[in-house]
Chains A and B, each alone.
Chain A
């Protein structure tokens, strides 16, 4: 695999995860449990959207076929998307969103720490900006884990349920293949293997403080690196891409 192809795919993986995560978070708009949280979640959605724009724009440049970030977001089909499965799972209730946010933000704060040292300057720049954002996302998720986990019997059981449901989607975030191997040699990508124990330690500590039990299951879902998704992604794209697909010659 050549470096250009590897970087293109790598950027799509990062960009798609941010885009789909933003889509799910934006579904909270006008639906939050309290107005302040409505705003906090859409704020995180906006951070993810900005990151998706930057990464997909750069992916288009690397690909060299004059495709814009919008071409990549709106004109690829479901088998050409490479976001982590956890980002596309339905929004669910507030506990589900918070558990998702905890798993993702804990991962991303480690990932973007590494990527901010990337030898690819553009990627390093995006990562440095992202790192500041995801640190806040992690604090937000952690604080809500404490509130829900230790708040009431009901909130504890909802958070526990969400953590149990989502657990089998956490392993995929750390998967590496030849794309990663190609870029690792050049000092461009992040080595995810050493991040996994750190993630586990961090997440375990937060959940313990939140009176939430760590799930015992070891089975992990996989597929997104090869563009194999859950059924949910197709519906997200149907909605997201509708105007671009219905009026392909229009500029908006």
Chain B
């Protein structure tokens, strides 16, 4: 079948690396793909506030508390920009939250792991934000304008988070034995889930065909994962952290590291709801969303009165 005129102009724009803007024509599946991806991204920022928020009241110094609180606030801000970007595609934030609660919309698997010790705050900043940056840097050139622009703003802050997380790990590795143990333990628990953040291997990645054609996605899962590993391994070595992968080794020919087999069975379990914290994260979000309903209603009722009295 021949493409229709509007589809041609859409694909032409994409092929010329021009941004697609909210008022431009776009194929329905492009719109739906973006809603799915951007809302998942927004929900991830928001759900990610929980494992990190778990340590605010126990942060071991005032400076550490301040950095953590500010970081989590940034993540909430990222959630806001991304919800707004998704709203330009004709879905409301309330609908997106409903989809999150019903299970139709997802969030990043990584936040279904628990933050057990203070070193986890270091590991999350360094590894999780570190992995997110690799992904998001490539999304700065994604074809949908509002999403690309949100990414530019977000990437600047994410690189701070990554440095601050690394600083926590570096400090702990210079500390007393108990701190070094804590840091290595966090590394052991977060390394593999961080690699899983890039998704399945390219050979079994279900959604990529159109995503590449529409330039929503510009780099493959495996390419991005490789970039993350190559960047992170030397950072770990520098502060004396071991990578919990006995098969990890430098490959001179490809100028990158080869890594061991990722436990995809675990990945599938966590994705299908059986991670250590899936139920807890969702119950938390639902509980506070419901508890806040009377506040939102009061706000809406008050604005209505103000409008009517104008």
Contact = CB atoms under 8 A, between A and B. Distances in A.
B268 interface: no
B69 A250 contact: no
A29 B80 contact: no
B72 A32 contact: no
Interface string A49-63: 110110010000000
A243 B53 contact: no
A150 B302 contact: yes
Given A30-B50, A39-B76, A155-B294, A252 B69 contact: no
B73 A42 contact: yes
B49 interface: yes
Contact of B62 (A43, A73, A151): A73
Contact of B292 (A26, A33, A70): A33
Given A30-B288, A252-B171, A239 B69 contact: no
Contact of B179 (A42, A43, A236, A250): A250
Which interface class (under 10, 10 to 19, 20 to 34, 35 or more) fits B? Answer: 35 or more
A112 B237 CA distance: 49
B80 A36 contact: yes
A81 interface: no
B279 interface: no
B57 A26 contact: yes
A244 interface: yes
Nearest to A236: B57
Nearest to B304: A151
A199 to B, nearest CB: 25
B295 interface: yes
A133 B184 CA distance: 40
A31 interface: yes
Given A69-B62, A155-B295, A26 B56 contact: yes
Shortest 3 CB-CB contacts between residues of A and residues of B: A33-B292, A151-B298, A155-B298
17 contacts: A26-B65, A27-B56, A27-B57, A30-B46, A30-B284, A33-B293, A34-B299, A35-B80, A42-B69, A42-B73, A49-B62, A50-B66, A74-B60, A93-B291, A147-B299, A150-B302, A151-B297
Given A30-B49, A94-B295, A250-B176, 16 more contacts: A27-B56, A30-B288, A35-B46, A35-B83, A37-B292, A46-B70, A49-B62, A52-B62, A93-B291, A147-B302, A151-B297, A152-B301, A154-B298, A243-B58, A249-B176, A252-B61
